[in-house]
Chain A
């Protein structure tokens, strides 16, 4: 560790705020690491709000009518979805870990456009604030579901326009982050950092960034049209004026399906970093994992129609979309096999980051396999709009992207903050979360198969047992989350000092002190080999 042996230790990025002091040294910074931390804090703050809303929904469902009105319940599932998707998972990994580690992984000083980078955080916060405002302003929180389907979203008197403008602005922030990352990866690689020497996390960010660039503008125009529809009555999605509500669904899912891959691909990148390190073995099939990220991004762009099998779209279209949906399973399967093959005959060290990765594989596999079930046209007609769908996407988004995020959080925590967390508490939290998660969401598969429709406030008596089970699961999961965040927050202040390379990783961030200095590298590194050097 050359940096540590220096006579005068450099100030870390946490101490060196640049031109400003105090809070301003954070919110006006252009340092990619500080921006990463800004995102990390804001993203998890919104996550906490989303979790509380979710817990309230589950609470209502053990005895409908006792805790809240129908109207409140409708707003709860809408705002829960909007926050968790647009303010937590989509910016989640790319904006926090991506900002922090992308330049370091490439051996660069910063991203290509540092000022644009802090600007996109400001957009994100502004959009998020507008969204939160829409909950409290007169008119009431949006009650359309996070999909904002027309024509109801045109007619409801709740604050849909305000929420939509909030998401529009957050979308702009997402686009700018993607633009920044693609340019950075093309232009700022250190000497010798060839494309196939980049860590796999970077490959997944690259694929994600392209999806952000090519899909998010479609959401922007869709939301803009929704706002214009509500304020000027343009009629594009209004059957009485010659419009077609199914076109709204097309435009909405043209973004929102690829968005699923914006959420999951970075998590896949995180676990691709962690498996080799904790198996002391090079990743199995580097190029296959790298290209499968691009493959997932490509196919993921072309399958939005599978959300619309019961919308009344044409039969031929439904068959085409069902077929392409199956193709996404191929690159996803390649990844899962390669992660497992990486561990095979490795010297596996079972620390908390790896445990979260193993949970990721388990939960993501269930998500993927149930995805094949509902991607099948005939089965979808039966399961569409039931709790089976809710179970499936929570396994994908929370079990996949969420657990991947937590894996990265434990893996990179020592590097980002220079402190070690309590490993035992981390493992306990992991165990409780894993149990709670499965009770909470597996019950939903059963409910869905029984025929329980999603978004309903009331239900028939035969669904009661599973609903109660699911709600108990939500409490267990919440307990696990509390322990995990409690442990990490405690470590911020009381944790032991972290060494430069606590896990024995081989990518460039581990050559820097923990936490890194403001300038990242004293001298631009010259890269001579691949990212994983375990043999």
Chain B
């Protein structure tokens, strides 16, 4: 595990170091979302019945669709790295663009989902919501905060992949220097994992 430092040029290509940095960043993300999952589990314990009835109001179809969309985007993200490493720049670029498209598709779905709830008057601090049982208020606030923060991460991810696509195009990254794309992939897969947990917690536990 220990590898001394060589010349400055070599240091910049310390792939294991770059990846370690990214993973540690993801640990902080785990703890960041962890605080929210903690609140979710605590309040779910307190308001079990209300959480069940509130979850029934979410659209399982949209939730499932979004899950499959993100899983598929993860597949293309992984493939784009594999193909960049094999030197198939064009295919890698194509897969990155597909990943971006799927990410945007996810956000559009999310938009329609939120818009529907807001149309019904259900959003944090809304008169309709405040009239409901306390457990419902907390459930929908958690829903907005957690999916909102997740959505923000998707948006950031899409932006970074767009930058990577530009890098792939102008050959800033390539088969010999792909760690930036790989770290982007790590981030994207992490965002996928967060959704893998959000999906059952909000849509399925009815």
Contacts and interface: CB of A to CB of B under 8 A. Distances in A.
Are A and B in direct contact (Cβ within 8 Å)? yes
Interface of A: 108-109, 112-113, 116, 175, 178-180, 182-183, 186-191, 193-194, 213-218, 220-222, 225, 228, 232-236, 241-244, 247, 251, 254, 524
Given A234-B145, A235-B125, A242-B135, A220 B5 contact: no
B48 interface: no
Contact of A236 (B21, B29, B39, B133): B39
Nearest to B130: A241
Contacts of B134: 241-242
Contacts of B27: 213-214
A109 B5 contact: yes
Contact of B20 (A178, A183, A232, A251): A183
Interface in B7-41: 8, 11, 14, 16-17, 20-21, 24-25, 27-36, 38-39
B124 to A, nearest CB: 5
Given A189-B4, A524-B4, A225 B145 contact: yes
20 contacts: A113-B21, A179-B28, A183-B21, A187-B14, A187-B16, A187-B17, A188-B17, A189-B4, A190-B5, A217-B28, A217-B34, A217-B35, A218-B34, A220-B32, A225-B145, A236-B145, A241-B134, A241-B138, A241-B141, A524-B5
Interface residues of B, number: 43
A194 B4 CA distance: 11
Contacts of B137: 235, 241-242
A232 B124 contact: yes
B178 interface: no
Given A180-B21, A228-B124, A241-B134, 19 more contacts: A112-B14, A182-B24, A183-B17, A186-B1, A186-B2, A186-B17, A186-B20, A187-B3, A187-B17, A189-B4, A215-B31, A218-B32, A218-B34, A234-B124, A234-B141, A234-B145, A247-B42, A251-B35, A251-B38
B83 interface: no
Contact of A179 (B11, B25, B35): B25
A247 B31 CA distance: 16
B6 to A, nearest CB: 8
Contacts of A242: 43, 47, 133-135, 137-138
Contacts of B124: 228, 232-235
A228 B39 CA distance: 15
B190 interface: no
Nearest to A243: B138
Nearest to B8: A109
Nearest to A238: B137
Contact of A247 (B25, B39, B130): B39
B36 to A, nearest CB: 6
Contacts of B199: none
A358 B27 CA distance: 38
A216 B28 contact: yes
Given A179-B24, A213-B27, A235 B32 contact: no
Interface in B141-166: 141-142, 144-145
Interface string B102-138: 0000000000000000000000110000100111011
Contacts of B142: 236
A235 B35 contact: no
B21 A179 contact: yes
A298 to B, nearest CB: 15
Given A234-B124, A247-B42, A221 B32 contact: yes
Contacts of A189: 2, 4
A316 B133 CA distance: 30
Contacts of A178: 24
A242 to B, nearest CB: 3
A193 B1 CA distance: 12
A241 B16 CA distance: 48
Nearest to A110: B11
A175 B28 contact: yes
A232 to B, nearest CB: 5
A41 B10 CA distance: 33
Contact of B17 (A112, A235, A251): A112
Nearest to B6: A524
B125 to A, nearest CB: 3
A235 B29 contact: no
A233 B125 contact: yes
Nearest to A251: B35
A214 B142 CA distance: 23
A234 B144 contact: yes
B36 A221 contact: yes
A232 B145 CA distance: 10
Given A213-B28, A234-B125, A228 B145 contact: yes
Contacts of B35: 217-218, 221-222, 225, 251, 254
